[in-house]
């Protein structure tokens, strides 16, 4: 009999303990975490598709006609200013220069003889002036021949990288024919288009004594190691797109960036005195954003809000809330308007510290 009573007592204890656990668990679940919006200075990152250009990217063209006699470099090679790149066969132009030298020598002798006669009043001054004009013409023709001969040798106008060749050794080159391209990649110009509204925001925060720095997200989704500086904004907006082109300059000491690449410019834009709420505290109905506001009587009420900027895990609220409101942070699917709930308040600073966000 005692054995039975003991078993019954133990059963009752288990039942009572189980009921107590369920009751305690129910009480824990009935408490909802709430917080308040927070007002603070922060920043957002705007991204713009960009095109990357060398600061100098030129076409190297032949300035004389002739056969391509020598190629002194290779495609993709780095070259120095003044380095020889191509040689067009110079024989014809050397012959023209020798002829021009001979004509100059003849004109110079003729001028000296005429000058001697003019000094002795044997010939008229006009004869001396004519001889001098012939000499000057011969000198000009010699300089022209020297220039033509010089143009048969194509040299690098600056340090850079050679692009692919458009001609091959032995090709008959016409005057003006494209040989290759040369790029100076020591620094890069990165162009991107900014909408009008964002341009106005940029100008309102721009400081003349502090250059606006930007980052470059490359095609492999990695940030370029050096930041760039916005140096130029073009004069006019594009009437079709409503955008205005910006140009940022990036140093490129390792030569990683090349002419013609693409990427995304990341521009940091400050948000002053912004009202912030966690994204997880909002929900959407028909493209409109709502939060659950908890009144003084702990009754839940849905409230529509207007979103300004979006950041990782955060929204900027431009209307619908104040920093004194209490909003539901967790369990949005478990309540509806008019419900009275038990709440546990967490300070907004503590809430932000647990979010993976970019804020100052």
Is residue 318 in some structural domain? no
Both 197 and 142 in one domain: the answer is no
Give pLDDT, residue 26: 43
212 in a structural domain: yes
Q: Count other Cβ atoms within 10 Å, centred on residue 25.
A: 10
Q: Kindly state whether residue 75 falls inside one of the protein's structural domains.
A: no
In a domain, 263, yes or no: yes
* 3-state SS string for the chain: CHHHHHHHHHHHHHHHHHHHHHHHHHHHHCEEEEECCEEEEEEEEEEEEEEEEEEEEEEEECCCCEEEEEECCCCCCEECCCCEEEEECCHHHHHHHHHHHHHHHHHHHHHHHHHHHHHCCCCCHHHHHHHHHHHHHHHHHHHHHHHHHHCCEEECCCCEEECCCCCCCCCEECCCCEEEEEEEEEEEEEEEEEEHHHHHHHHHHCECCECCEEEEEECCCCECCCCEEEEEECCCCCCCCCEEEEEEEEECCCCCCCCCCEEEEEEEEEEEEEEEEEHHHEEEECCEEEEEEECCCCEEEEEEEEEEEEECCEEEEEECCCCCCCEECCCHHHCCCCCECEEEECCHHHHHHCCCCCCC
pLDDT of the residue at 2: 39
Number of structural domains in the chain: 2
> How much is the pLDDT for 209?
67
Asked if residue 128 belongs to a domain, the reply is yes
Confidence (pLDDT) at 17 = 45
Q: Are residues 194 and 266 in the same domain?
A: yes
* Domain assignment of residue 191, yes or no: yes
The pLDDT of residue 218 is: 96
Assigned domain for 300 exists = no
**120 burial type by CB count under 10 A (0-12 exposed, 13-18 middle, 19+ buried):** exposed
**Same domain for 147 and 221:** no
- Which pLDDT value is given to residue 16? 46
Which among 221, 239, 272 is the end of a domain?
A: 272
User: pLDDT tens per residue, the chain (360 residues)?
Assistant: 334 333 334 344 344 444 454 444 444 456 899 999 999 988 888 899 999 999 999 999 999 999 999 999 999 999 999 999 999 999 999 999 999 999 999 999 999 999 898 888 888 889 989 999 999 999 999 999 999 999 999 999 999 999 999 999 999 999 999 999 999 999 999 999 999 988 998 888 777 667 789 999 999 999 999 999 999 999 999 989 999 999 999 999 999 999 999 999 999 888 888 999 999 999 999 889 999 999 999 999 999 999 988 888 899 999 999 999 999 998 899 999 999 999 999 999 988 888 754 344
Answering whether pTM is above 0.75, one says no
In a domain, 302, yes or no: no
Pairing of strands 153-155, 243-251: unpaired
The whole-number pLDDT of residue 211 equals: 78
Domain ranges, residue 121: 90-151
Q: Cβ distance 50 to 190 under 8 Å?
A: yes
CATH code for the domain of 136:
1.10.287.470
Give me the CATH number covering residue 190: 2.40.30.170
- My answer on whether 50 and 197 are in the same domain is yes
């Amino acid at each position: 009999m005692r054995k039975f009573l003991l078993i019954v007592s133990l059963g009752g204890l288990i039942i009572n303990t189980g009921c107590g656990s369920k009751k305690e668990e129910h009480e824990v679940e009935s408490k909802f975490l709430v917080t308040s919006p927070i007002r603070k200075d922060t920043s957002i990152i705007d991204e713009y598709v960009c095109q990357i250009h060398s600061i100098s990217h030129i076409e190297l063209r032949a300035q004389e006609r002739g056969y391509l006699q020598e190629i002194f470099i290779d495609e993709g090679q780095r070259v120095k200013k003044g380095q020889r790149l191509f040689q067009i066969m110079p024989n014809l132009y050397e012959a023209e220069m020798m002829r021009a030298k001979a004509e100059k020598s003849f004109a110079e002798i003729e001028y000296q003889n005429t000058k001697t006669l003019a000094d002795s009043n044997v010939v008229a001054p006009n004869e001396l002036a004519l001889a001098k004009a012939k000499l000057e013409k011969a000198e000009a023709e010699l300089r022209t021949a020297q220039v033509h001969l010089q143009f048969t040798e194509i040299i690098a106008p600056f340090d850079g990288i050679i692009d692919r060749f458009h001609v091959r050794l032995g090709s008959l080159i016409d005057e003006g024919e494209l040989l290759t391209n040369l790029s100076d990649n020591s620094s890069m110009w990165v162009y991107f288009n900014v909408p009008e509204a964002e341009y106005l925001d940029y100008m309102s925060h721009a400081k003349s004594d502090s250059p606006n720095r930007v980052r470059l997200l490359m095609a492999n989704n990695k940030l370029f190691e050096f930041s760039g500086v916005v140096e130029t904004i073009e004069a006019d907006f594009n009437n079709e797109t409503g955008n205005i082109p910006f140009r940022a300059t990036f140093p490129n000491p390792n030569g990683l960036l090349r002419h013609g690449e693409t990427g995304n410019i990341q521009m940091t834009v400050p948000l002053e005195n912004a009202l912030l709420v966690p994204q997880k505290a909002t929900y959407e109905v028909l493209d409109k954003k709502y939060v659950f506001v908890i009144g003084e009587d702990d009754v839940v009420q849905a409230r529509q809000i207007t979103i300004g900027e979006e950041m990782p895990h955060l929204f900027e609220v431009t209307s619908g809330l104040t920093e004194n409101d209490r909003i539901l942070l967790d369990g949005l699917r478990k309540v509806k308007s008019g419900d009275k709930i038990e709440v546990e308040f967490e300070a907004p600073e503590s809430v932000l510290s647990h979010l993976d966000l970019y804020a100052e």
